[in-house]
Amino acid sequence: MTRRQSTSRRIFSGGISKWIFILPSLILLAFFALPLFALVYRSIEPDFFANTLSRQAFQALKLSLGTSSLSTMITVLLGTPLAYLLARWKFKFKSWLELVIDLPIVLPPSVAGLALLIAFGRRGIFGAYLSEIGISIPFTTTAVIMAQLFVAAPLFIRSARIGFAHVDKQLEESAYVEGANQWQVFYEIMLPISARALASGTILTWTRALGEFGATILFAGNLEGVTQTMPIAIYIGFERDLGVAMALSVVLILVSVVLLILTKKIDNEEE
């Protein structure tokens, strides 16, 4: 409490120089806030609830929540061991491996969608073999989850890797000295200490998966109830009825806000 008071006093005691910080901040904040405000403002019309409660909107929301939860779960299950390897093990080509994992974060999602199609499409390098045994991935809900996994999982891995790397090595050393095996060290020491990094990484991946659009529309297509997630319903809605698109956008903003508040809560409880 006392720390906060002294900080606020500092803001008001500064001279002209304080504007060097305030003005650019205000410009950028307004740039973020104005479009969101405009969207919410214009979406408030008599049809708002009819638009948000339509069957299409409900199906899209259900599909989005379901697929993003699943892809996030897969990410945590497979990504945690990988992040641990990257943080603690030393091996050849490690930096190259990290590059491959970070690449999906910076690539445009359309590139991700195309790559998935070329790999797992019916005529893809691997998809052709799957196709021979009767498995076809494009245009299925599985394709939606794969697209989300591809673009969103690296965010968790990155966050978890940094979390694990920050754990004091001496703690581990002393545990090993006392006879703990690698699993015990991981489970009893690494996991609890880096829990916050893991949690915020999980939410980051979840929100990113929820918003995935580019890779999904290329790799999974657009079919109501099967592959039409919220972002795709918004894109298609934009071309039919702006009201529907805006209403769906507002719902997506609300869901994202709830998720972000959740992250904040987790962070605060850890403190």
Query: Given the rule CB under 8 A, which residues bind other proteins?
Result: 27, 30, 34, 38, 41-42, 117, 121-123, 136, 138-139, 217, 220-223, 226-227, 235-236, 238-240, 242
Distance CA(244)–CA(230), nearest Å, equals 11
What does the chain come to in residues? 271
Q: 189 near 170, Cβ under 8 Å?
A: no
**117 or 251: CB nearest other proteins:** 117
- Read off the tokens for 221: 């297509």
Torsion angle defined by CA atoms of residues 173, 176, 180 and 186, in that order, rounded to the nearest 10 degrees: 40
**69 or 140: CB nearest other proteins:** 140
**202 or 229: CB nearest other proteins:** 229
Rounded to a whole number of angstroms, the minimum distance from the CB of residue 34 to other proteins is 7
Closest CA to 87 of 191, 7, 164, 9: 164
Distance CA(152)–CA(71), nearest Å, equals 8
Task: Compute CA 168 distance to the chain's CA centroid, rounded to the nearest angstrom.
Answer: 28
Rounded to a whole number of angstroms, the minimum distance from the CB of residue 22 to other proteins is 13
**33 or 99: CB nearest other proteins:** 33
